């Protein structure tokens, strides 16, 4: 069985993230990059499936982007992926084009399962997995908090606003992962050593036969207001008024 | 700009978030004097369709295959209607329902989509949407350059549409071919939430308690209840975990969870750096503490000096009263 | 702002070293201003584990740490918080060399009246059901050891300091130290100049940069450090008063934390940080380890050998931060010969929390009295002054790195005590 895990390289959003003064981009020069946490959860789940089923599972991590991706794909190899594929692409891609490139990879690699994060913590779009499922015409299950592989089918518990929904899908399928699915492992010394010998294939995005066709243009970025007001309120009534009228936190 | 809003409902009533999305759609439509319609999918949706018809015309697709919100049939029907009626702007209120289904429909329609829109402008027939990114630290303004343009809309950013008390709009019962209603995914069930709180790392609101809380009952009564009133998660500082008052899973801080909610309410928490490390990316921080010099006040947006045992019950009571007035 | 811009003492740095010094100085009537680049206690102080092993390689240091505990107990009363958690501590040995280390430590400790004794391995196993003990050849136990809770300690310094009139100014990096004719006059910040005849450099990892502002050399370096904190595991419960453990052979130390276990490592090849390369708004509390960091992997590997239930899949958080090391792992406390009025208080080499209570007292004595009631020869600031091999940044970094890398690695013998050394018995 082959499980494909698309991964996105994102800035660590636990750091302080602001827009540049001119609003043209996000100031990430000093921010370390990580594998999108939800994709790390997907990779961990794929690795666990492999550990349960044994030799017959191959976990392939995919990253689409520029040079820096190699570091994240090495992390993926050190935390359990058997092989990594780096689709080299210098352009910034919106979810539509990422999904189209992933479709080409899927058609080449022929995995039985695509397991990826429910959203990337940079754009928070939560579109790519669903786009990919539609393009492939595969069944989908999003926001998975529990997975159970049963032969040619997969049972998925999904986190929804109204409770945990259970779906049962035939493979091949696209499943996106939610936070409570698992806690990703660290890399052990042995795994770090082994990862050095694992294959990391490079493919030029152009060779995949997909013409990049943007659907979204980013016009500007604006930082959320971070200057702490440090306002002392004198009563509960004043606090409620601030939360309602200044913050919009309550209706 | 022909607008279609995919309604979310519970089988009997529209979910109120959809009414906010309707406002978005009406605003967009009004720029070019265009139409807005609901799309109501489900099984046995007469009541929902009738309610929706109090606002704008309704296209209803009623089938046993749509009894549960499965992405495959829902997205197929949505895409079909959007194409057939030459819809320019397709939207739904942000929710797990919309996030699951609308992107799949969007892909069938060409992939032009913005998620969780909080503000919009229509410029030369193209939507420019403000969408929160980087866990809310940054707002990106996106121009949608394809067609149709698809959006999930954050309900709290748009006021709920009001029903006109003139006569109801039309409800069109639309039949679709069975092939469109097939799903390979099988629905097996839903375990409803039963008052369980959202996860502290993903909740929009976190109410957190610290040293001032003396025991688990007080924690539940003050922190827990305030969290419930605000629809949020409960968290705590290390001191309460060490005292055995709260479980480790609720701990926010350097060796606990890192959270970045829109609203973080720190009750009786002093604000040691180890705790701040876990919540300093929160959008708005409110602190209640009896010590006016507590370091938490340096990072709070709003600080109230007082005893949590008197402040919090008053806060809960007044919020509940306001909430009751709002819905009453 | 002008009234607030003069003080008797300006302290650069709001970590435990600066906070403790400020509190002690103010207690003796000095007007003190702390200038902190970011937030009080948000540097190394905020990342520390706080283990307190009172018995050091020599009697004087041990005395200092014991007195420090007494200061802490007073702070607990004044601030109404628990700071010192008396878990006791274990040192364990799995080789004859490490056993010899323990033997010499026990002998030295007993000779100065410190509570320490060998503990049979069977008893160790009973006390530490979650720890592997079948490979141990010896162990010793100090019942009066434990750890200081860093957040509570810093908070207490701030509270008592504030009551004594200490002024705290945060988000105020010092951009220059003002010196005239070999005497300190004050400091320059973006908010303007502050004047004082005494300036204390308690800048932690940034201390060597502060020294450079004064055109002097402080032989410290910024060394990375890692520890893990496990989340409570029902299969391996860790009691809050379970002893802290030092396993020098594996290079790890451990203590209980919030129902789980902290395990930290003194890695043989730690990271060196160039503090100049950090962004101006660097926030140490946001430092994170990469999931495939080799240092984290070594930490987990070492932890696993002593606690077999810990591995790369264990539910845990990794804390990483920066320590300030010196070439001999002892701090620099006092003035250098080249500048009058500039007192250094830095280089605590991973033991800042536990030394801070007594160091604050020592600093206040040095500043106000020109001398200390303790024998401070080994922590004199000028012990490497003008000595070749300790003046160039490259040399300093190499030495500090070697010290940090060997910190647990090398086998140590406690200094033998002669009969003229003061006993600990009878000290208040």
CATH number of the domain at B278, please: 3.40.50.1220
CATH topology of domain C89-145+222-325: D-Amino Acid Oxidase; Chain A, domain 2 (3.30.9)
Percent of chain A with pLDDT over 90: 86
Touching A: C residues 297-326, CB under 8 Å: 297-298, 300-301, 311-313, 315, 318
A243 compared with C353, residue with greater pLDDT: C353
**pLDDT tens digits along A181-211:** 999 999 999 999 999 999 999 999 999 999 9
Interface test with A, best of C312, C315, C316, C318 (most A CBs within 10 A): C312
Output the pLDDT for position A244.
87
B76 and B156: one domain? yes
B161 and B244: one domain? no
pLDDT band with cut points at 50, 70 and 90 for residue B290: very high
Residue B94 has pLDDT above 90, yes or no: yes
- Token digits for B83? 């194409």
Cβ-based burial of C167 (10 A; exposed 0-12, middle 13-18, buried ≥19): middle
CB-CB neighbors (< 8 A) of C155 in chain B = 270, 272, 295
Q: Is residue B114 part of a domain?
A: yes
**pLDDT tens digits along B157-190:** 999 999 876 778 999 999 999 999 999 999 999 9
Output the pLDDT for position B281.
87
Output the pLDDT for position C428.
31
Query: How much is the average pLDDT of C318-347?
Result: 97
B149 and B233: one domain? no
**pLDDT tens digits along B41-66:** 999 999 999 999 999 999 999 999 99
Q: Is residue B257 part of a domain?
A: yes
A108 compared with A29, residue with greater pLDDT: A108
Question: For residue C41, what is the DSSP state?
Answer: T
B116 and B14: one domain? yes
Q: Is residue B194 part of a domain?
A: no
Question: For residue C180, what is the DSSP state?
Answer: E
Q: Is residue B44 part of a domain?
A: yes
State the nearest Cα–Cα gap between A194 and chain C, in angstroms.
Answer: 12
Long-range Cβ contact pairs of B314-322 (< 8 A, separation 24 or more): B314/A236, B315/A236, B315/A239, B315/A240, B315/B226, B316/B222, B316/B225, B316/B226, B316/B229, B318/A236, B318/A237, B318/A240, B319/A240, B319/A250, B319/B226, B319/B229, B319/B230, B320/B229, B322/A240, B322/A244, B322/A250
| Closest-CA residue to B39 (of B94, B80, B95) | B80
Output the pLDDT for position C323.
98
- Residue B104: asked if its preceding bond is cis (omega within 30°), the reply is no
CB-CB neighbors (< 8 A) of C286 in chain B = 277
How many domains, chain B? 2
B177 and B213: one domain? no
Domain residues for the domain of B102 are: 3-181
Q: Closest to B185 (Cβ–Cβ): which among A123, A141, A223?
A: A141
C124 contacts C243 by C-beta, under 8 angstroms: no
Q: Is residue B41 part of a domain?
A: yes
Q: Does C170 touch chain B (CB under 8 A)?
A: yes
State the nearest Cα–Cα gap between B242 and chain A, in angstroms.
Answer: 23
Residue B193 has pLDDT above 80, yes or no: no
pLDDT band with cut points at 50, 70 and 90 for residue C1: very low
Interchain contact, C46 vs B273, CB within 8 Å: yes
d(CA B167, CA A82): 64
Residue C268 has pLDDT above 70, yes or no: yes
Residue B117 has pLDDT above 70, yes or no: yes
Output the pLDDT for position C49.
95
Interchain contact, C286 vs B277, CB within 8 Å: yes
A175 contacts A39 by C-beta, under 8 angstroms: no
Q: Does C240 touch chain B (CB under 8 A)?
A: yes
B108 and B176: one domain? yes
Percent of chain C with pLDDT over 90: 90
Mean pLDDT for chain C? Answer: 94
**pLDDT tens digits along A45-73:** 999 999 999 889 999 999 999 988 999 99
d(CA A145, CA C383): 60
Q: Hey, where are the domains in chain C?
A: 2-55+150-220+327-396, 89-145+222-325
Residue C129 has pLDDT above 80, yes or no: yes
B276 and B131: one domain? no
d(CA A72, CA A66): 11
What sign does the CA torsion over C273, C275, C277, C281 have?
positive
Query: How much is the average pLDDT of C146-157?
Result: 96
d(CA B310, CA B51): 43
Residue B8 has pLDDT above 90, yes or no: yes
Q: Closest to B192 (Cβ–Cβ): which among A124, A162, A242?
A: A162
**pLDDT tens digits along A149-158:** 999 999 999 9
CATH topology of domain C2-55+150-220+327-396: FAD/NAD(P)-binding domain (3.50.50)
Output the pLDDT for position C425.
41
Query: How much is the average pLDDT of C150-175?
Result: 96
Q: Does A142 touch chain B (CB under 8 A)?
A: yes
In this predicted structure, which of B247-251, C340-344, C351-355 has the lowest mean pLDDT? Answer: B247-251
In this predicted structure, which of A237-251, B47-61, B145-159, C289-303 has the lowest mean pLDDT? Answer: A237-251
In this predicted structure, which of A243-247, B172-176, B264-268, C215-219 has the lowest mean pLDDT? Answer: A243-247
pLDDT band with cut points at 50, 70 and 90 for residue C279: confident
Tell me how far apart the terminal alpha carbons of chain B are, to the nearest angstrom. 35
pLDDT band with cut points at 50, 70 and 90 for residue C426: very low
Interface test with B, best of A11, A140, A245 (most B CBs within 10 A): A140
B226 and B268: one domain? yes
Output the pLDDT for position C415.
59
CATH number at residue B67: 3.40.50.620
B318 and B223: one domain? yes
B38 and B137: one domain? yes
Interchain contact, C291 vs A187, CB within 8 Å: yes
Q: Closest to B137 (Cβ–Cβ): which among A13, A143, A239?
A: A13
Contacts with B38 (C-beta within 8 Å, 6 or more apart), sequence order: B4, B5, B6, B7, B22, B49, B52, B53, B55, B56, B57, B58, B59
Output the pLDDT for position B136.
86
B137 and B227: one domain? no
In this predicted structure, which of A2-6, A211-215, B172-176, C407-411 has the lowest mean pLDDT? Answer: C407-411
State the nearest Cα–Cα gap between B243 and chain C, in angstroms.
Answer: 9
B159 and B270: one domain? no
Q: Is residue B190 part of a domain?
A: no
Query: How much is the average pLDDT of A135-159?
Result: 96
Delineate the domains of chain A, giving CATH numbers in brackets. 2-223 (3.40.50.620)
pLDDT band with cut points at 50, 70 and 90 for residue B195: low
Touching A: C residues 267-296, CB under 8 Å: 279, 281, 283, 286, 288, 290-294, 296
**pLDDT tens digits along C105-122:** 999 999 999 999 999 999
| Closest-CA residue to C396 (of C324, C320, C295, C322) | C324
Strands B302-305 and B284-289: parallel
Query: How much is the average pLDDT of C340-358?
Result: 97
CB-CB neighbors (< 8 A) of A141 in chain B = 185
Q: Does A7 touch chain C (CB under 8 A)?
A: no
Q: Does A189 touch chain C (CB under 8 A)?
A: yes
Q: Which residue spans within chain B are E strands per DSSP?
A: 3-6, 36-42, 58-62, 89-93, 113-117, 119-123, 126-133, 138-144, 149-153, 171-173, 186-192, 205-209, 233-236, 263-267, 284-289, 302-305
pLDDT band with cut points at 50, 70 and 90 for residue B327: low
């Amino acid at each position: 069985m082959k499980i494909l895990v698309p991964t996105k390289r994102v800035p660590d959003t636990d750091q302080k993230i602001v827009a540049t003064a001119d609003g043209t981009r996000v100031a990430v020069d000093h921010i370390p990059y990580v594998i999108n946490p939800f994709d790390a959860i997907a990779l961990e789940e794929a690795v666990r499936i492999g550990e349960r089923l044994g030799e017959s599972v191959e976990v392939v991590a995919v990253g689409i982007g520029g040079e820096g991706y190699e570091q994240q794909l090495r992390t993926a190899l050190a935390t359990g992926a058997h092989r990594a594929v780096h689709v080299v692409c210098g352009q910034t891609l919106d979810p539509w084009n990422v999904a189209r490139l992933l479709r080409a990879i899927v058609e080449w690699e022929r995995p039985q399962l695509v397991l990826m994060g429910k959203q990337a913590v940079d754009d928070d779009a939560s579109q790519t997995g669903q786009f990919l499922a539609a393009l492939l015409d595969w069944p989908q299950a999003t926001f998975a908090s529990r997975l159970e592989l049963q032969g040619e089918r997969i049972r998925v518990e999904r986190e929804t606003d109204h409770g945990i929904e259970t779906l049962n899908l035939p493979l091949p399928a696209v499943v996106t992962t939610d936070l409570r699915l698992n806690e990703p492992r660290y890399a052990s010394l042995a795994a770090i050593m082994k990862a050095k010998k694992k294959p990391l294939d490079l493919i030029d995005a152009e060779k995949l036969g997909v013409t990049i066709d943007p659907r979204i243009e980013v016009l500007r970025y604006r930082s959320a207001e971070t200057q702490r007001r440090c306002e002392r309120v004198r009563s509960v009534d004043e606090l409620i008024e601030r939360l309602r009228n200044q913050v919009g936190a309550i209706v | 700009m022909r607008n279609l809003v995919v309604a979310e409902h519970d089988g009997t009533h529209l979910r109120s978030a959809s009414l906010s999305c309707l406002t978005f759609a009406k605003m967009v439509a009004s720029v070019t004097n265009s139409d807005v319609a609901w799309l109501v999918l489900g099984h046995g949706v007469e009541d929902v369709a009738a309610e929706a018809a109090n606002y704008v015309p309704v296209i209803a697709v009623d089938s046993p295959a749509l009894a549960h919100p499965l992405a495959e049939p829902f997205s197929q029907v949505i895409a079909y209607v959007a194409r057939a009626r030459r819809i320019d702007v397709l939207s739904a209120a942000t929710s797990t329902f919309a996030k699951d289904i609308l992107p799949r429909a969007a892909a069938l329609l060409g992939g032009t989509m913005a998620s969780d829109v909080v503000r919009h402008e229509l410029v030369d027939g193209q939507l420019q949407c403000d969408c929160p990114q980087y866990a809310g630290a940054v707002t990106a303004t996106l121009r949608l350059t394809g067609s149709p343009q698809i959006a999930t809309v954050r309900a709290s950013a748009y006021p709920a549409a009001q029903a006109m008390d003139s006569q109801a709009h039309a409800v069109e019962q639309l039949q679709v071919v069975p092939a469109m209603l097939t799903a390979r995914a099988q629905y097996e069930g839903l375990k409803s939430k039963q008052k369980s709180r959202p996860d502290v790392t993903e909740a929009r609101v976190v109410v957190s308690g610290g040293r001032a809380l003396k025991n688990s009952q007080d924690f539940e009564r003050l922190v827990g209840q305030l969290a419930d009133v605000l629809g949020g998660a409960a968290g705590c500082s290390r001191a309460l975990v060490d005292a055995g008052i709260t479980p480790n899973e609720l701990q926010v801080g350097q060796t606990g969870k890192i959270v970045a909610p829109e609203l973080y309410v720190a009750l009786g928490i002093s604000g040691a750096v180890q705790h701040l490390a876990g919540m300093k990316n929160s959008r708005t921080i409110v602190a209640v503490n009896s010590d006016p010099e507590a370091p938490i006040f340096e990072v709070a947006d709003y600080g109230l000096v007082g005893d949590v045992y008197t402040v919090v019950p008053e806060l809960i009571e007044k919020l509940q009263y306001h909430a009751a007035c709002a819905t009453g | 702002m002008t009234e607030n811009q003069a003080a008797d003492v300006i302290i650069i740095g709001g970590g435990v070293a600066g906070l403790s010094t400020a509190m002690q100085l103010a207690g003796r009537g000095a007007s003190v201003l702390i200038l902190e680049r970011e937030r009080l206690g948000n540097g190394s102080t905020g990342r520390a584990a706080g283990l307190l092993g009172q018995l050091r390689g020599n009697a004087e240091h041990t005395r200092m740490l014991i007195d420090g505990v007494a200061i802490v107990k007073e702070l607990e009363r004044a601030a109404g918080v628990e700071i010192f958690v008396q878990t006791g501590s274990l040192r364990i040995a799995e080789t004859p060399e490490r056993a010899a280390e323990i033997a010499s430590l026990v002998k030295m400790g007993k000779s100065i009246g410190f509570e320490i004794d060998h503990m049979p391995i069977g008893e160790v196993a009973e006390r530490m059901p979650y720890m592997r003990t079948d490979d141990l050849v010896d162990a010793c136990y100090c019942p009066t050891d434990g750890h200081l809770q860093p957040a509570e300690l810093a908070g207490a310094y701030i509270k008592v300091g504030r009551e004594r009139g200490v002024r705290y100014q945060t988000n105020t990096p010092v951009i220059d130290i003002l010196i005239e004719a070999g005497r300190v006059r004050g400091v320059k910040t973006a908010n303007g100049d502050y004047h004082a005849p005494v300036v204390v450099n308690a800048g932690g990892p940034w201390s060597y940069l502060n020294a450079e502002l004064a055109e002097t050399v402080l032989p410290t370096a910024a060394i990375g450090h890692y520890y893990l904190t496990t989340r409570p595991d029902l299969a391996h419960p860790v009691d809050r008063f379970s002893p802290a453990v030092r396993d020098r052979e594996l290079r790890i130390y451990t203590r209980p934390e919030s129902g789980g276990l902290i395990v930290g490592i003194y890695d043989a090849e730690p990271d060196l940080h160039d503090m100049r390369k950090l962004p101006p708004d660097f926030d140490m509390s946001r430092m994170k380890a990469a999931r495939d960091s080799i240092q984290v992997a070594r930490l987990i590997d070492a932890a696993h050998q002593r606690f077999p239930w810990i591995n790369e899949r264990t539910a845990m958080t990794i804390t990483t931060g920066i320590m300030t090391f010196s070439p001999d792992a002892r701090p620099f406390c006092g003035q250098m010969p080249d500048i009058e009025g500039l007192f250094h208080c830095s280089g605590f080499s991973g033991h800042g929390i536990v030394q801070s209570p007594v160091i604050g007292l020592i600093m206040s004595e040095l500043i106000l009295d020109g001398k200390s009631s303790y024998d401070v020869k080994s922590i004199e600031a000028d012990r490497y002054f003008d000595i070749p091999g300790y003046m160039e940044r490259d040399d300093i970094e190499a030495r500090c790195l070697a010290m940090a890398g060997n910190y647990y690695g090398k086998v140590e013998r406690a200094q033998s005590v002669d009969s003229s050394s003061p006993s600990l018995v009878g000290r208040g």
